[in-house]
Amino acid sequence: MDRLLVLARHGQSDWNLKNLFTGWKDPGLTELGVEEARNAGKRLKAMGVEFDVAYTSVLSRAQETCRLILEEIGQPNLETIRDVALNERDYGDLSGLNKDDARARWGEEQVHIWRRSYDVQPPGGESLKDTVARVLPYYVQEILPRVMRGERVLVAAHGNSLRALVMVLDGLTPETIPTMELATGIPLVYRLKEDTTVADKKVLEA
């Protein structure tokens, strides 16, 4: 039984390129982002990976990444479930602002706290802790049962929503998870044991 779970952060978005806080805003992928998503699919295909179901957020950059990965694997019509639970962390009033402009307005230290603390919310937005509280119940109720039945599952989502899953899978703490970065377009391939813990993990870097 495979119990295969693949996590993939979306390819570079237009706002990643422009150094803007994105959150629930909905910019598309850059040309590089499209290439990153396609390359992720090619690396998974080279491993011989096929999926039974895919999950993604309601934001276009994650959906497009999911579509491109599946296209490269040769599964363009795979069942794909979209849910707001997998959306990026909501940056609230910071959304759409250039990160350097935000530092100029609120100060380097305050912006660093908003970005890298576990439980401090930016104005009008979510902390990483809030994002974890949104993502994990969805994972436990919807995604994990399918993996444990032996289905092969792709989750194409966002840096912070995926960090919530990596926190559980890799046994990270509120102190260590804020400093962990997920690269765009680099799949994380997990195989799970019968007790839902990780048997094996591969990072499919370029």
Q: Per-residue pLDDT tens, the chain, 206 aa: give them.
A: 789 999 999 999 999 999 999 999 999 999 999 999 999 999 999 999 999 999 999 999 999 999 999 999 999 999 999 999 999 999 999 999 999 999 999 999 999 999 989 999 999 999 999 999 999 999 999 999 999 999 999 999 999 999 999 999 999 999 998 888 899 999 999 999 999 999 999 999 97
Give the CA radius of gyration of the chain.
Answer: 16
For the whole model, what pTM was predicted?
A: 0.96
Contact 6, 154 (CB under 8 A): yes
Query: Hey, what domains does the chain have and what are their CATH numbers?
Result: 4-203 (3.40.50.1240)
Contact 186, 38 (CB under 8 A): no
Pairing of strands 198-203, 188-192: antiparallel
| Type of residue numbered 104 | A
Structure-block tokens of residue 95: 């959304």
Residue 131 CA to residue 122 CA, distance in Å, equals 12
Residue 169 CA to residue 198 CA, distance in Å, equals 6
Catalytic positions are 10, 88
Contact 15, 88 (CB under 8 A): no
